[in-house]
Every structure is written in C-alpha cells, then in structure tokens.
Chain A
C-alpha cells in the first residue's frame, strides 16, 4: 500500500517535470538564445547555456534608431557577433509603445463597459435580459478571421486605417463579451439579498456596484484585466490588416516583419521576443494569487 502510493507519487512527479519541460523549454531557449551570438545559435549541437554570453542583441535594439539599414548596407553588421539587425529594427521600441497604449486603453475601456453591463445583467430583471446574454455569448463563437473583412470596411469608413483607435475599437469588440461573461457569472453567484441590503442601506445602483460588488469581485477583475491585456498585446491578425506604417504598427507586426527581411537574424528576433514577454510576465507575477481563483470563480459556484 505504502510503496504503491510512493510509486504513484514518483510517477506524478516525473509526469509533472515532463510537462513543465515541455511548456518551459521554448521559453528557456528564447531567453538563452537572446544572449547568444548568431554563430552560437546556429552552431551544432545547440547549447542551452551560452558559452560566450553577449548583451549585444539587446544593445542593438536600443541603438537601432541611429542606424539605417538598406539592401546595400545590410551586411555591415557581422552576423557572427550579433550586430546584424533587420531594416525595421528601429521600429521595435515605438511599436512596443503602441502596443502598450492600445492594451492599456482596451483594458480601461473594457472595464468601464463590461462592469456595469455584467452587473445589470446579473442583478436587474429587464425585458430582453437573457436574450442579450445569449446574443453576446454568441459573438464569442465567431472566429476572428471571419470578422476581418467587415471590421476592415467599418474602420475604412471611419477613416481610422493606420490609426491606433482602429485597434482599440476592434479589440474591445473581441474582449468585452468575454469580460462580461466572466464578471456576469461572478456577480450572479453573489446573493441578490446582498444587492438589496446595500440599496436599503442607502446605495444607489452605481454605489452598490462600486462599494459592495467590486471589492468582492477583485479576483474576477484581475482575470479580466489579464485576459484583455494579453489579447491586445499579442493580437496580430487585425493589427496586420489595419496598420500600415510604424505610426500605428504594434509589436507583433514589427516582430513578424523581422522574419521577412533581407536576412534573418535569429539572435535579434529572440532578444525582441524576450522584451515582448516581459510586460505580460510582470502582470502575471503581480496578480498571480488572484489568477486561478478568478478564472474559476463563476464556474464552480452556483
């Protein structure tokens, strides 16, 4: 009996490590190779720990704005030292700023819309309430790519092509239904009597929402913020369609452009990749203790 459970534990442990390795290996390679020179990355066999660690890939990103790379000058930097950079490299930092502006705006506007919407759908019995919930959820089953053309037409009509607003608007359309759904299921799990008690105690509907429901919904709010931020930060397809110049291009679009340059620099791309995952990782670490409880809050109860 005892040995059986011991064996079982060993097996679970081994399986856990296998899974962990599977999930973390690409990230480890990304980080490791961002500190390697191009020749080291492409050497055989590849090594996990850089033999000659270099920060030149990162230095190249931050100094890229001073350099003009053309077809003629493309070989000025020596690939073997990591000094070789793509022609769009100087747009990387501005594109990260664009990504951040878009993600931040989407998070804020998303909360402003989805919190009152979820509260109303959870606690106010109005005509058309369940219809609107189903309708909203139905939008989640449509794949984004099916919406690209209609979105494009609308954005063009609005004159917002190559403008960050186009991304804010379309990302909201994608993220708000999900946010409302998460918050709705949480608010529904809170008893109606709590709502009534607050209102009898002197709260208007809005005060009830802000002073009683929101403090209780922090885990769900964190889940919503994370989801919204990550969706906006990582989104590629719509950004590729609606943005055409570095004025509005976001980080995924610029990073993708590195792979279609005169020559491909793996070391530079990997360093850019590391920069790209830093904001989400910081966010995840900040809210780590809320994440699991938030995503399961509405699902388990009720």
Chain B
C-alpha cells in the first residue's frame, strides 16, 4: 500500500469519483491551479466544464451548487477556508440543509462542500477557526472531520456519493501528514467511528487533528501503564453513538478533545450525549479539552495557548485517571 499525504488523498478521492460519475463537477476558489495542491491536475484531466474557478463570491457559488444539485448534478464545492462559509450561511443553512425537508422529500441535494479549517500556524482568527459546531444544530447537513489520509480518502469518496449535503472539514495542519492509503476503491461509511488506539484506562474521543495529538500523548502515557482508548468519531453528523458509549462502558472515563470552542461546541454535544445515555458507566466526571473561547490569535505563542496541545491533553487524562 503506498504512503500518500492528506492532500494527495483528497486529490485521489476527487479524481476517482469524478471519473466514476460524469454528473460530478468541481467548483471553487482557485481549484484550477489547485492552490493547496489537492485539486492540482484535475482541470487538465476533466476539462473546463467540470472543473471551474469561481469568483471570490461564496454566497453566489455555494448557492449555485444548491441549484445545480436540485437540477440533477452532483457538485463538489470548495471554499478555501471554512471561515468563509459564514459568507454563504444562508445558502448552506437555509437552502442546502432545509430544501429536501421543506419540499416534502422532493429535492435531492447531493453536494459535497470542502474547506480547510483549524489553527495551522499564524493564519489568525478569520482563517483558523474550527467552525463545524456552527452547523451541528442545523438539521439536514452531514459533517465529516477526517483525522488522517486514509480516512480522508474513504470519507470524501463516501461524501461525494451521498445524496445529502455533506461538509468535509480538512485540517490545514494535517496536509502533509502521510500514511498508507489503499489505492482505488476505498470507502469509509459516514456514521462509523473508529478506534484509533485500543485501551482500557480511559476513553478519549478526539476529533480531526486532535487524533494525532492524542495518539502521541497516549504513546507517552502507555509507558506508565495508562492505557488510553482513542475513539475518532470521523463524522459528527451522523454520530456513531454506539461506539462512543461502548468504549466508555469499558473504560468508565471520558475525555473529549476538540479544537472547536468550549461553548456550544461539538465536545459539549458529545458530553451531553454521554451524560444522557452513559451516566451509569462513568466513574469520573466527563472532561473536555477544547480551544479557549477566544478568536484564534495570530502570534504563535498566543495561538498555541488558544488551542489544545499535548500538554493540556495529558493533564486532563492524568486528572481523570488520578495519576
């Protein structure tokens, strides 16, 4: 199995799915050139009708993706940075998310939205935010947050084949992360979490780029006999409640590691789920390690202080296991 990067995995998934389905097409800001590398070469391969640079006009082209989907195609729509979704909030939240329901099931909206999110080193608050929580309470959307190249490829392929609007959040700091990725058909279903490391002292539910960070901490702590089980939900909607709860049933301790903000975040949502359905499994309070409730700052020491790092993850695990 060849080792490829997170960005190459995106490119592979796009290329394979566009080859597979002539109704797919790709549009977004600088996708022809492939500003971040993921879409490089697709314009040459699929031509100008199916690979289109858009103006910097998020409401316009995100809304156009909605219309194109309703008219029978399968758009893949890229906004460069996830914070730019704010410019197209109506098109995603009022249109893409709701039109199937509001039309009594007549509309089909097979759209894949892609965007880079997260703190990636000095990009400041308008290019570094983890924005998926803003979409958690909008029924009708699926949210995908891959933590590495193999899942990236498999989840993106599934997202493109899904008949609903799916937002795929691609962490900017994971771009050059490499791992073995199956060639060709490799699908990871939406709604199936993965155990990234088995353990029995504590369950750490880690999202996106928090998975590799938590894995490092788990490696370190394993030398002291603290065995961390890492559950990667992979998709926040649908959420694999069963795997999260069965892991906690085994470990009796739950930590959620999320780069989103604390207030109203994905971690809060998962914590509430555990409190609702897994209270009897718990021997300790549920803990969250998240970004602070501040806009993500520019200067490197401030940025580091705002988002979860290995130190904070380690401290939280030690607190929960009492060692």
* B and A form one assembly: no
Chain B residues in the interface with A (C-beta under 8 A): none
Chain A residues in the interface with B (C-beta under 8 A): none
